Amino acid sequence: MRLVALVSPRNGHTGIFPLDPGHRRTLHLYPLRLYEFVDGTHVVGGEHTGRRLVAISGVPLERVARLVRPLVPYDNGSSLGAKVPYFSLVAEVLDGLGVGSGVRARTFTFDRQEAELQPIPAREYGTAFDDARGPTMLPRRASPLYLARSRRDLWMRRTDDVLHVGYNSTFAPTEAFARRLARAAREVRRVIVDLRLNGGGDNTTYGPLIDVFASVDDLAVLIGRGTFSAAGNFATELGLATNAIFVGEPTGGGVNQYGDSVDRRLPATGWNLHVATLYHEKGGPHDRRLAVEPDIHVESTSEDFFAGRDPVLDAATRAT
Protein backbone atom coordinates (compact mmCIF):
# COMPACT_ATOMS: atom_id res chain seq x y z
CA MET A 1 0.00 0.00 0.00
CA ARG A 2 2.79 2.41 0.93
CA LEU A 3 4.67 1.87 -2.34
CA VAL A 4 1.60 2.23 -4.56
CA ALA A 5 0.45 5.39 -2.77
CA LEU A 6 3.70 7.10 -3.81
CA VAL A 7 2.15 7.80 -7.24
CA SER A 8 -0.25 10.31 -5.63
CA PRO A 9 -1.37 13.13 -5.79
CA ARG A 10 -3.82 13.28 -8.73
CA ASN A 11 -3.87 9.47 -8.65
CA GLY A 12 -6.52 8.41 -6.16
CA HIS A 13 -7.58 5.60 -8.51
CA THR A 14 -4.28 3.70 -8.22
CA GLY A 15 -4.10 1.68 -5.04
CA ILE A 16 -5.19 -1.25 -2.92
CA PHE A 17 -8.69 -0.69 -1.51
CA PRO A 18 -9.89 -2.78 1.44
CA LEU A 19 -13.48 -3.31 0.23
CA ASP A 20 -12.44 -4.39 -3.28
CA PRO A 21 -14.38 -7.60 -4.07
CA GLY A 22 -11.49 -8.71 -6.30
CA HIS A 23 -9.26 -9.59 -3.36
CA ARG A 24 -8.51 -13.32 -3.12
CA ARG A 25 -7.18 -12.79 0.41
CA THR A 26 -9.85 -11.17 2.55
CA LEU A 27 -9.16 -8.04 4.55
CA HIS A 28 -11.01 -7.33 7.80
CA LEU A 29 -12.52 -4.13 9.17
CA TYR A 30 -13.94 -3.09 12.52
CA PRO A 31 -17.74 -2.62 12.34
CA LEU A 32 -17.89 1.18 12.48
CA ARG A 33 -18.45 3.89 9.90
CA LEU A 34 -16.30 6.90 10.68
CA TYR A 35 -16.38 10.47 9.40
CA GLU A 36 -13.95 13.26 10.19
CA PHE A 37 -15.87 16.41 11.05
CA VAL A 38 -14.29 19.74 11.89
CA ASP A 39 -14.80 18.86 15.58
CA GLY A 40 -13.28 15.37 15.43
CA THR A 41 -13.82 11.90 14.01
CA HIS A 42 -17.21 10.50 14.97
CA VAL A 43 -19.01 7.22 14.49
CA VAL A 44 -21.81 7.80 11.96
CA GLY A 45 -22.83 4.15 11.54
CA GLY A 46 -22.68 1.07 13.74
CA GLU A 47 -23.26 0.25 17.38
CA HIS A 48 -21.49 3.31 18.76
CA THR A 49 -23.08 5.92 16.48
CA GLY A 50 -22.76 9.44 17.81
CA ARG A 51 -19.56 8.93 19.76
CA ARG A 52 -16.24 10.62 19.03
CA LEU A 53 -13.35 8.20 18.52
CA VAL A 54 -10.16 9.27 20.29
CA ALA A 55 -7.87 6.20 20.29
CA ILE A 56 -7.37 2.68 18.90
CA SER A 57 -5.45 0.13 21.01
CA GLY A 58 -4.37 3.00 23.24
CA VAL A 59 -2.83 4.94 20.34
CA PRO A 60 -4.30 8.46 19.96
CA LEU A 61 -6.33 8.76 16.78
CA GLU A 62 -4.18 11.66 15.55
CA ARG A 63 -1.13 9.39 15.58
CA VAL A 64 -3.06 6.55 13.92
CA ALA A 65 -4.02 8.97 11.14
CA ARG A 66 -0.38 10.08 10.67
CA LEU A 67 0.67 6.45 10.32
CA VAL A 68 -2.14 5.60 7.90
CA ARG A 69 -1.82 8.58 5.53
CA PRO A 70 1.22 7.28 3.58
CA LEU A 71 -0.77 4.14 2.66
CA VAL A 72 -3.73 5.95 1.12
CA PRO A 73 -4.02 6.81 -2.61
CA TYR A 74 -5.36 10.31 -3.20
CA ASP A 75 -5.92 13.11 -5.68
CA ASN A 76 -5.54 15.86 -3.09
CA GLY A 77 -5.81 16.59 0.61
CA SER A 78 -9.59 16.39 0.53
CA SER A 79 -9.70 12.85 -0.84
CA LEU A 80 -6.88 11.83 1.50
CA GLY A 81 -8.84 13.08 4.49
CA ALA A 82 -11.92 11.24 3.29
CA LYS A 83 -10.18 7.86 3.09
CA VAL A 84 -7.94 7.90 6.17
CA PRO A 85 -10.74 7.03 8.66
CA TYR A 86 -11.79 4.08 6.48
CA PHE A 87 -8.25 2.69 6.10
CA SER A 88 -7.82 3.13 9.88
CA LEU A 89 -10.48 0.49 10.45
CA VAL A 90 -8.59 -2.26 8.59
CA ALA A 91 -7.19 -4.82 11.03
CA GLU A 92 -4.34 -5.82 8.70
CA VAL A 93 -3.33 -2.17 8.26
CA LEU A 94 -3.31 -1.56 12.02
CA ASP A 95 -1.30 -4.75 12.54
CA GLY A 96 1.28 -3.69 9.94
CA LEU A 97 1.62 -0.26 11.56
CA GLY A 98 2.03 -1.64 15.06
CA VAL A 99 -1.30 -0.32 16.34
CA GLY A 100 -2.16 -3.43 18.29
CA SER A 101 -1.27 -6.86 16.99
CA GLY A 102 -2.92 -9.35 14.65
CA VAL A 103 -6.38 -9.63 13.11
CA ARG A 104 -8.18 -9.75 16.41
CA ALA A 105 -10.17 -7.66 18.88
CA ARG A 106 -8.90 -4.16 19.59
CA THR A 107 -9.87 -1.55 22.13
CA PHE A 108 -11.59 1.52 20.69
CA THR A 109 -11.74 4.53 23.00
CA PHE A 110 -14.67 6.94 22.64
CA ASP A 111 -14.62 10.12 24.70
CA ARG A 112 -15.00 8.55 28.17
CA GLN A 113 -15.82 4.96 27.22
CA GLU A 114 -13.95 1.97 25.80
CA ALA A 115 -15.22 -0.96 23.75
CA GLU A 116 -13.63 -4.18 22.54
CA LEU A 117 -14.47 -4.70 18.88
CA GLN A 118 -13.89 -7.75 16.70
CA PRO A 119 -13.00 -7.23 13.02
CA ILE A 120 -15.30 -8.68 10.37
CA PRO A 121 -14.55 -9.71 6.76
CA ALA A 122 -14.65 -6.86 4.24
CA ARG A 123 -17.59 -8.38 2.38
CA GLU A 124 -19.60 -8.52 5.60
CA TYR A 125 -18.62 -4.93 6.38
CA GLY A 126 -19.79 -3.78 2.95
CA THR A 127 -23.15 -5.49 3.49
CA ALA A 128 -23.60 -3.99 6.96
CA PHE A 129 -22.93 -0.46 5.72
CA ASP A 130 -24.55 -0.53 2.29
CA ASP A 131 -26.62 2.63 2.91
CA ALA A 132 -24.06 4.99 1.40
CA ARG A 133 -22.19 5.42 -1.87
CA GLY A 134 -18.70 4.15 -1.13
CA PRO A 135 -16.78 3.78 2.12
CA THR A 136 -16.01 7.49 2.54
CA MET A 137 -19.59 8.74 2.28
CA LEU A 138 -22.07 9.64 4.98
CA PRO A 139 -24.92 7.14 5.48
CA ARG A 140 -28.50 7.69 4.42
CA ARG A 141 -30.58 9.57 7.00
CA ALA A 142 -34.06 11.05 7.19
CA SER A 143 -32.56 14.54 7.01
CA PRO A 144 -31.01 16.57 5.50
CA LEU A 145 -32.50 16.09 2.06
CA TYR A 146 -29.32 15.15 0.20
CA LEU A 147 -28.70 12.22 2.56
CA ALA A 148 -32.34 11.14 2.48
CA ARG A 149 -32.06 10.87 -1.32
CA SER A 150 -28.50 9.52 -1.44
CA ARG A 151 -29.48 6.35 -3.32
CA ARG A 152 -31.02 8.25 -6.24
CA ASP A 153 -28.70 8.98 -9.15
CA LEU A 154 -30.54 12.16 -10.15
CA TRP A 155 -33.31 14.09 -8.45
CA MET A 156 -34.65 17.62 -8.10
CA ARG A 157 -36.96 19.48 -5.73
CA ARG A 158 -38.28 23.01 -5.94
CA THR A 159 -38.65 25.17 -2.83
CA ASP A 160 -40.16 28.57 -3.59
CA ASP A 161 -37.89 30.09 -6.27
CA VAL A 162 -34.92 27.72 -5.71
CA LEU A 163 -34.42 24.43 -7.55
CA HIS A 164 -32.27 21.90 -5.67
CA VAL A 165 -30.75 19.26 -7.99
CA GLY A 166 -29.03 16.15 -6.66
CA TYR A 167 -26.46 14.49 -8.94
CA ASN A 168 -25.09 11.42 -7.16
CA SER A 169 -23.57 9.26 -9.90
CA THR A 170 -22.12 9.95 -13.32
CA PHE A 171 -22.90 6.38 -14.38
CA ALA A 172 -26.50 7.46 -15.00
CA PRO A 173 -27.60 8.67 -18.45
CA THR A 174 -28.72 12.31 -18.27
CA GLU A 175 -30.51 13.20 -21.54
CA ALA A 176 -34.11 12.79 -20.33
CA PHE A 177 -33.40 14.36 -16.95
CA ALA A 178 -31.66 17.32 -18.62
CA ARG A 179 -34.79 18.06 -20.67
CA ARG A 180 -36.94 18.15 -17.52
CA LEU A 181 -34.29 20.17 -15.72
CA ALA A 182 -34.18 22.79 -18.48
CA ARG A 183 -37.93 23.37 -18.17
CA ALA A 184 -37.83 23.55 -14.37
CA ALA A 185 -34.78 25.87 -14.30
CA ARG A 186 -36.59 28.51 -16.36
CA GLU A 187 -39.20 28.87 -13.60
CA VAL A 188 -36.89 29.64 -10.66
CA ARG A 189 -34.45 32.33 -9.57
CA ARG A 190 -31.60 30.05 -8.49
CA VAL A 191 -30.46 26.50 -9.22
CA ILE A 192 -28.36 24.58 -6.69
CA VAL A 193 -26.68 21.39 -7.92
CA ASP A 194 -25.41 19.03 -5.22
CA LEU A 195 -22.30 16.93 -6.02
CA ARG A 196 -21.24 16.05 -2.47
CA LEU A 197 -22.12 12.35 -2.77
CA ASN A 198 -21.04 11.88 -6.37
CA GLY A 199 -18.11 9.48 -6.45
CA GLY A 200 -17.95 9.50 -10.25
CA GLY A 201 -18.50 6.79 -12.83
CA ASP A 202 -18.38 7.85 -16.48
CA ASN A 203 -17.29 11.31 -17.64
CA THR A 204 -18.99 10.88 -21.04
CA THR A 205 -22.53 11.00 -19.58
CA TYR A 206 -22.89 14.50 -18.15
CA GLY A 207 -22.66 16.64 -21.31
CA PRO A 208 -26.42 17.38 -21.45
CA LEU A 209 -26.31 18.68 -17.86
CA ILE A 210 -23.39 20.99 -18.65
CA ASP A 211 -25.45 22.47 -21.51
CA VAL A 212 -28.42 23.15 -19.20
CA PHE A 213 -26.38 24.62 -16.37
CA ALA A 214 -24.48 26.86 -18.80
CA SER A 215 -27.79 28.60 -19.53
CA VAL A 216 -28.57 29.25 -15.84
CA ASP A 217 -27.77 32.78 -14.65
CA ASP A 218 -27.79 32.04 -10.90
CA LEU A 219 -26.09 28.71 -10.20
CA ALA A 220 -24.54 27.33 -7.00
CA VAL A 221 -22.64 24.04 -6.84
CA LEU A 222 -22.24 22.07 -3.61
CA ILE A 223 -18.95 20.16 -3.48
CA GLY A 224 -16.97 18.14 -0.95
CA ARG A 225 -14.52 15.33 -0.26
CA GLY A 226 -16.90 12.79 -1.82
CA THR A 227 -16.92 14.64 -5.16
CA PHE A 228 -14.49 12.30 -6.84
CA SER A 229 -13.32 10.89 -10.18
CA ALA A 230 -15.72 11.82 -13.02
CA ALA A 231 -17.60 14.08 -10.61
CA GLY A 232 -14.38 16.04 -10.18
CA ASN A 233 -14.24 16.29 -13.99
CA PHE A 234 -17.84 17.53 -13.99
CA ALA A 235 -17.15 20.17 -11.33
CA THR A 236 -14.11 21.35 -13.30
CA GLU A 237 -16.12 21.69 -16.50
CA LEU A 238 -18.92 23.51 -14.69
CA GLY A 239 -16.37 26.01 -13.44
CA LEU A 240 -15.21 26.65 -17.00
CA ALA A 241 -18.66 26.74 -18.62
CA THR A 242 -20.63 28.73 -16.02
CA ASN A 243 -20.41 31.54 -13.50
CA ALA A 244 -21.33 29.17 -10.69
CA ILE A 245 -20.57 29.82 -7.03
CA PHE A 246 -18.98 26.72 -5.44
CA VAL A 247 -19.92 26.05 -1.83
CA GLY A 248 -18.64 23.47 0.68
CA GLU A 249 -15.26 21.72 0.83
CA PRO A 250 -12.64 21.22 -1.91
CA THR A 251 -13.50 18.37 -4.24
CA GLY A 252 -11.96 14.98 -3.53
CA GLY A 253 -11.35 14.54 -7.26
CA GLY A 254 -8.60 16.44 -9.02
CA VAL A 255 -9.00 19.12 -11.68
CA ASN A 256 -6.57 17.13 -13.84
CA GLN A 257 -6.38 13.54 -12.70
CA TYR A 258 -5.54 9.95 -13.57
CA GLY A 259 -8.42 7.49 -13.93
CA ASP A 260 -9.92 4.56 -15.86
CA SER A 261 -8.17 1.97 -13.71
CA VAL A 262 -7.57 -1.69 -14.52
CA ASP A 263 -7.10 -4.51 -12.02
CA ARG A 264 -3.92 -6.45 -11.38
CA ARG A 265 -3.88 -9.35 -8.92
CA LEU A 266 -0.78 -9.39 -6.69
CA PRO A 267 0.23 -13.06 -6.62
CA ALA A 268 2.00 -13.16 -3.25
CA THR A 269 -0.63 -11.32 -1.18
CA GLY A 270 -3.74 -12.21 -3.17
CA TRP A 271 -4.81 -8.58 -3.06
CA ASN A 272 -6.15 -6.68 -6.04
CA LEU A 273 -4.27 -3.62 -7.25
CA HIS A 274 -6.04 -0.89 -9.24
CA VAL A 275 -3.85 0.97 -11.75
CA ALA A 276 -5.04 4.13 -13.52
CA THR A 277 -4.54 4.12 -17.29
CA LEU A 278 -5.65 7.55 -18.57
CA TYR A 279 -4.91 11.16 -17.70
CA HIS A 280 -7.98 13.42 -17.80
CA GLU A 281 -6.91 17.02 -18.33
CA LYS A 282 -10.21 18.85 -17.89
CA GLY A 283 -8.59 21.99 -16.50
CA GLY A 284 -6.10 22.36 -19.34
CA PRO A 285 -2.36 21.64 -19.47
CA HIS A 286 -1.33 24.63 -17.34
CA ASP A 287 -3.86 24.19 -14.53
CA ARG A 288 -1.91 23.03 -11.46
CA ARG A 289 -4.83 23.01 -9.04
CA LEU A 290 -5.33 19.73 -7.20
CA ALA A 291 -9.01 20.38 -6.47
CA VAL A 292 -11.94 22.61 -7.35
CA GLU A 293 -11.91 24.98 -4.39
CA PRO A 294 -15.11 26.44 -2.94
CA ASP A 295 -15.82 30.14 -3.21
CA ILE A 296 -17.65 29.81 0.11
CA HIS A 297 -15.91 27.33 2.41
CA VAL A 298 -18.30 25.54 4.77
CA GLU A 299 -17.45 22.63 7.06
CA SER A 300 -20.11 20.64 8.90
CA THR A 301 -19.82 19.76 12.56
CA SER A 302 -20.90 16.48 14.08
CA GLU A 303 -23.66 18.40 15.84
CA ASP A 304 -24.97 19.59 12.46
CA PHE A 305 -24.95 16.04 11.12
CA PHE A 306 -26.71 14.36 14.03
CA ALA A 307 -29.28 17.18 14.20
CA GLY A 308 -30.06 16.79 10.48
CA ARG A 309 -28.86 20.28 9.56
CA ASP A 310 -27.20 21.18 6.25
CA PRO A 311 -25.06 24.31 6.65
CA VAL A 312 -23.62 23.91 3.13
CA LEU A 313 -27.05 24.11 1.50
CA ASP A 314 -28.00 26.95 3.85
CA ALA A 315 -24.93 28.94 2.78
CA ALA A 316 -25.67 28.34 -0.90
CA THR A 317 -29.28 29.43 -0.44
CA ARG A 318 -28.18 32.69 1.24
CA ALA A 319 -25.37 33.48 -1.23
CA THR A 320 -25.91 36.41 -3.58
Residue range(s) defining the domain that contains residue 106 = 2-128
Report phi then psi at 250, rounded to 5: -60, 145
Counting the structural domains of the chain, the total is: 2
Domain endpoint, select from 80, 99, 128: 128
Q: Is 94 helix (H, G, I), strand (E, B) or coil?
A: helix
Q: Do residues 14 and 96 share a domain?
A: yes
What are the tens digits of pLDDT across the range 120-159? 999 999 999 988 877 778 999 999 999 999 999 999 999 9
Domain endpoint, select from 128, 163, 184: 128
Q: Do residues 225 and 295 share a domain?
A: yes
Q: Do residues 179 and 311 share a domain?
A: yes
Q: Do residues 205 and 115 share a domain?
A: no
Q: Do residues 59 and 160 share a domain?
A: no
| Max Cα distance, the chain (Å) | 60
Q: Do residues 113 and 156 share a domain?
A: no
Q: Is residue 311 part of a domain?
A: yes
Which H or E run contains 248?
strand 245-248
Q: Is residue 270 part of a domain?
A: no
What does the pLDDT read at residue 74? 97
Tell me the CA distances in angstroms from 2 to 14, 23, 67, 220, one per residue in order.
12, 18, 10, 38
Q: Is 97 helix (H, G, I), strand (E, B) or coil?
A: helix
What are the tens digits of pLDDT across the range 11-44? 999 999 999 999 999 999 999 999 999 999 999 9
Amino acid type, 259: G
The CATH number covering residue 42 comes to 2.30.42.10
Q: What is the spatial distance between Cα 146 and Cα 143, in angstroms, rounded to a whole number?
A: 8
Do the bridges between strand 262-265 and strand 272-275 make them parallel or antiparallel, or are there none, so unpaired? antiparallel
What does the pLDDT read at residue 210? 98
Q: Which residues contact 77 (CB under 8 A, 6 or more apart)?
A: 250, 290, 291
Residues of the chain with pLDDT under 50: none
Quote the distance between the C-alpha of residue 127 and its chain's center: 18
- Give 172's DSSP letter: S
What does the pLDDT read at residue 136? 79
What does the pLDDT read at residue 112? 82
Q: Is 225 helix (H, G, I), strand (E, B) or coil?
A: coil
What does the pLDDT read at residue 50? 96
Domain endpoint, select from 128, 163, 185: 128
The CATH number covering residue 294 comes to 3.90.226.10
Q: Do residues 166 and 91 share a domain?
A: no
Q: What is the spatial distance between Cα 35 and Cα 57, in angstroms, rounded to a whole number?
A: 19
Q: Do residues 75 and 173 share a domain?
A: no
Q: Do residues 59 and 152 share a domain?
A: no
Q: Do residues 117 and 179 share a domain?
A: no
